Chains A and B, each alone.
Chain A
Amino acid sequence: MSSPFHSASFEDLTLPLLPSLYNHAFWLCRNHADAEDLVQEAISKALRAFDSFQAGTNFKAWIFRILRNTFLTSRTGIAASRTVFLEDHPDLPGATDESPNPEDHLIRLDNQAALNRALDDLQPQLREVLLLCDVEELKYKDIALVLDVPIGTVMSRISRARRTLHQQLKVQLGESL
C-alpha cells in the first residue's frame, strides 16, 4: 500500500504535528482519553490515505481535515453536530462595531483566566476556526479545506469569533479597560 519512502515521509511529516493534533483534538473532545483515541484514529486513516495526499499541498491542512472528519463521525462528534449553528449572517446584531469610544477597543489581555473562559464559552464552530487560524497559523484557503467551506465563510467566521471573544472579555472584565 505504502512504499517505504512514503512511510518515512508520513512519519517525518506527522511527528512534528503530534502536539498540535493533540491540542486540537482535546479542544474537540474535551478529555484526554478521547483526544488520544481521536489522534490515533486520524493518523491511521491518514496513513491509509497517504497515497492520495498530493505532494506540494499543505500536509498540515490535509491531516487536520482528516482529524476533524474523524471527530465528526465519532459519537461525541455526532452529538456535537446536533447543535445548530447560525451560519455567518453579516447582519446579525453585533456584526458592526459601534463602540463609541476608540479606547473601548482595547481590553486587558493579561487576564489569562478570563481569556480561557471566553474561549471555553465560544461556540465550537467559532472556536474551531479561530484555533486553526491563530494557533495553527493556517491560511484561510487551508482552513477552508479543513472545514470544507468557502473561503468567504472562513473569513466571516474568524471575524465573528474575534468579535464574540472581544465582547465576552469586555463583559467578564467588567469593562475594566
Chain B
Amino acid sequence: MTQTTQANGHLGPDQLSAFIDGELSSNETYEVQQHLTDCHECALRVLSATQLKAATARAAQQFAVPPEALARLTAQLRPQEPKKTGRIYSFRSVTWAAVAAGLLLAVSLLGWRQNRQATALSAELLDQHLAVLSGGASPEVISTDRHTVKPWFQGKLPFSFNLPDVLPADTTLKGGDLAYLNGQPAALLLFTIHKHEVSVFLTQRSGSPIVAVLPGTQSGFTIHHAMTNDLRIFAVSDVNPADLDLLVSALVEAQTSR
C-alpha cells in the first residue's frame, strides 16, 4: 500500500502517517514496528507525529455550534408535518416556514378581496422566490458577470433583455435561471442586496394581460412590479422596499437605454 522505507532506510512520510492512522495492513504494521525497535530517529518521528495528530484534533475542534443555531438545526431534523410540496426549506427553515405560513395566509386572505389572477400571480412569485431561498434549485448559470448571464438566456427565451451596466450600491448579481410564471417563460435573475436574496422575473409584456394590482408588502416580503415597452419585471425580496425599487429602476432603465 505504501512505499516501505526511504532510500536511507527510514520510514517514508506517507508510510509514517498511514502507520499512526492505523491504515497499514497487519504485515506492514509489523514491519514498521520491527523497524521502530531498532531506529531511534523513526521512533521519535512517530512519537512527534502522534502528538501532532492529537494536538491537531484538539485545536481544530474549536468552533462550537451556538446554542440558538443548534436549536434551529435540531428542529430541522425533527419529523415534520407532510408538506404538499415535499420540499424541505433550508436557510433557517423554522423562521422561513413561519414567514411563509404567514405569507400564504395573508395572500389567501387577500384572495377574498382582490383580483384572483393577481393574487395567484403573487403566490406564484412568492413560491418561486421561496424555492430559490430553499436552495433546492441552484441557478443554472452562476455568475456575477452580466456578460456571462445575459448570453446564457439567448435562444432559451422568446425575448431578450438588458442588464444594467452599473448596479445600485451593495447589489450583486448572483446568477440566473429559466422559470415559468403565469404560464409564460421567464428569465429568473438572482441578486443580493445587503445580503438579502432577491428574485427578479422578466416576462414578455405581450403575454396575458393580467396583473392589475399586486400586494406591495406582505409579511416582510416585498413584490415590486414594473413595465417597460416589451417586458414585465417582477422583483421579490425581504430587503427594504426602497432598495428593491433602486434595483427595479436600474433594470427598467437598462431596457429603455438600449
**Are the CB atoms of B88 and A37 closer together than 8 Å?**
no
- Most-contacted residue by chain B among A10, A40, A102, A116 (CB, 10 A): A40
Closest residue of chain B to A7 (Cβ to Cβ) is: B79
B56 CB contacts on chain A under 8 angstroms: 115, 119, 130, 134-135, 165
Query: Inside 8 A of A10's CB, which chain B residues have their CB?
Result: 77
Name the residue of chain A whose CB is nearest to the CB of B89.
A44
Number of B interface residues at 8 Å Cβ cutoff, please give it: 54
Q: What residues on A are CB-neighbors of B18 within 8 Å?
A: 140, 155, 159
Partner of B52, one of A40, A75, A109: A109
Chain A residue numbers with a CB within 8 Å of B47 are 105-106
Measured in the bound complex, the distance between the Cα atoms of B180 and A123 in whole Å is 43
Q: Which residues of A contact B (CB under 8 A)?
A: 1, 4, 7-8, 10-11, 14-15, 18-19, 22-23, 26-27, 32, 35-37, 39-41, 43-45, 47-48, 73, 75, 78, 90, 95-97, 102-103, 105-107, 109, 112, 115-116, 119, 130-131, 133-135, 137, 139-140, 155-156, 158-160, 162-163, 165-166, 169
Task: Given A44-B89, A44-B134, A75-B174, answer yes or no on A39-B73 (Cβ-Cβ < 8 Å).
Answer: yes
Query: C-beta contact mask, B170-206 vs A, less than 8 Å → 1, else 0?
Result: 0000100000000000000000000000000000000
Q: List 27 A-B contacts (CB under 8 A).
A: A11-B79, A15-B74, A18-B70, A22-B64, A22-B70, A23-B60, A23-B63, A37-B90, A37-B91, A40-B92, A43-B76, A43-B90, A44-B88, A90-B14, A96-B13, A97-B45, A105-B41, A107-B48, A112-B58, A130-B60, A131-B60, A135-B61, A139-B23, A155-B2, A155-B14, A155-B18, A156-B14
Interface of A, secondary structure class, is helix
Instruction: Give the docked Cα–Cα distance between A40 and B215 (Å).
Output: 31
Question: Shortest CB–CB separation between residue A29 and chain B, in angstroms?
Answer: 10
Q: Is the CB of A135 within 8 A of B69?
A: no
- Beyond A41-B90, A43-B90, A102-B44, whether A158 also contacts B21 by CB under 8 A is yes
Which residues on A sit within 8 Å (CB–CB) of B40?
102
Nearest A residue to B47, CB-CB: A106
12 more CB-based (< 8 A) A-B contacts, given A40-B73, A115-B56: A4-B79, A8-B79, A10-B77, A32-B69, A44-B88, A78-B142, A97-B13, A112-B58, A135-B57, A155-B23, A159-B16, A166-B52
